[in-house]
Structure 1
Amino acid sequence: MTTLPGRPNTALLVIDVQKGVVAGAPRRDEVIANIHTLIDAARAQDVPVVWVQHSDDDLERGSENWEYVEELVRLDAEPLVHKNYQDSFEDTELESVLAERGVGRVVVTGAQTDACIRSTLHGAFVRGYDVTLVGDAHTTEDLSKYGAPAPEQVIAHTNLYWSWQSAPGRGAGTVDTAKVTFEAADAG
């Protein structure tokens, strides 16, 4: 249902599951296990797996904290998109990587729920993609000392509000790992 013509395929986005990003995150091991399950399923179905890796002043490129967690291993043939902004599309090659693969739907996993995940969800949606958030395959750090809700509430709220997103010609939704399909017409 994407508004991007000639792009019937789906891709799995694995966003910022880096050592320094998910260290101490709620449900870290469960979320990583779910992402691993999705990566295996995508690979088995020849669905592109696209890795996104963040760097900034607090997450220096090349540092140990910048590296992806050991539990998730990118294959050499799988694209790696480097970014410096929360939206994985902003000033990156993500759009061209997806266009080359005929992708009009993205399945989103990773971290941080209230930053890079939300920004990428909206960034994809406004660019015409169908966007599925995997509700049990994203997490965030505890920012309650800065006035944010507890991480579990941030995750639950993001899952809830993304399940109701709509726009002309595009689909959105939230599903758990066990219900993810990589069919292009299944945005939710």
Structure 2
Amino acid sequence: MVQQRVVMVVDMQLGVFATQRVARDICCQRINQLIDAAEQVIFIQHAEADMQPGTEAFEVLPELHQPTSALRVTKTACDAFWRTSLAQELEAAGITGFVVCGCATDYCVDATIKRAAGLGYRVTVAEDAHTTANRPAANAQVLIAHHNDVWRNFTVPGNPVLVQPVASILEQWAGA
């Protein structure tokens, strides 16, 4: 079976970006490049407090391309698999691997990547297409670099997490 070009976009929502995130514009540009080249797009949307389905805060950022064929999964935890239909949606679509991008690097993106790898999905992280906010313990750029390093070295025997820039992912997809 030929591997699909699938991108999972985590929590790129108006309510999430009510808190300033580093490099929003460039992150969105790179995510759009992945969306435009993908065969399947999956938007993961977080719901909590004032950020509920049907509210403006819940909506995906308007600058992101949103194909009508995109799958959408609503979550209530950092881990996009926790008590959601994500695994069932992936199975129904025959998806066994995907590229992950989005927000927030140190919370929802991290939790989803680690869970997906542990469940056996082939995960590629778009190392330059995820973002977060400055935190009390570290600024956003340090957190992003740290998590890229952690994911590169995350041990799941036989199923390493790949961490690559968007340009490399697109080049590989173009050659597939």
**TM-score, normalising length from structure 2?**
0.89
Query: How big is the shift at 1:139?
Result: 0.4
- In the alignment, does 2:63 pair up with 1:50? no
Q: Is the 8 A contact 2:40 2:69 kept in 1?
A: no
- In the alignment, does 2:87 pair up with 1:95? yes
Q: Is the 8 A contact 1:53 1:81 kept in 2?
A: yes
Unaligned runs of 5+ in 1: 1-5
| Paired AA for residue 16 in structure 2 | V
- In the alignment, does 2:67 pair up with 1:75? yes
- In the alignment, does 2:138 pair up with 1:149? yes
State the match for 1:63 in structure 2.
Answer: 55
Q: Distance in 2 between matches of 1:151 and 1:94?
A: 28
State the match for 2:31 in structure 1.
Answer: 35
Query: How big is the shift at 1:66?
Result: 1.7
Q: Is the 8 A contact 1:165 1:173 kept in 2?
A: no
**Candidates 7, 12, 33, aligned match of 1:12:** 7
Structure with the bigger percentage of helix: 2
Unaligned runs of 5+ in 2: none
State the match for 2:128 in structure 1.
Answer: 136
State the match for 1:173 in structure 2.
Answer: 162
Q: Is the 8 A contact 1:10 1:104 kept in 2?
A: no
Q: Is the 8 A contact 1:16 1:110 kept in 2?
A: yes
**TM-score, normalising length from structure 1?**
0.84
| Paired AA for residue 112 in structure 1 | A
Query: How big is the shift at 1:8?
Result: 4.5
Where 1:135 maps in the other structure, the secondary structure is strand
CA RMSD of aligned residues (A): 1.9
Q: Distance in 2 between matches of 1:64 and 1:81?
A: 17
How many percent of aligned residue pairs carry the same amino acid? 33
- In the alignment, does 2:81 pair up with 1:85? no
Query: C-alpha offsets along residues 8-64 of structure 1, whole Å, 9 cap, x if unaligned?
Result: 44521011100121342100000000000110011xxxx211111001125333322
Q: Distance in 1 between matches of 2:56 and 2:124?
A: 30
Number of residues of Structure 1 aligned to a counterpart in Structure 2:
172
Query: C-alpha offsets along residues 67-114 of structure 1, whole Å, 9 cap, x if unaligned?
Result: 111111322221110110110111111111111121111210000111
Deviates more, 1:55-64 or 1:121-130: 55-64
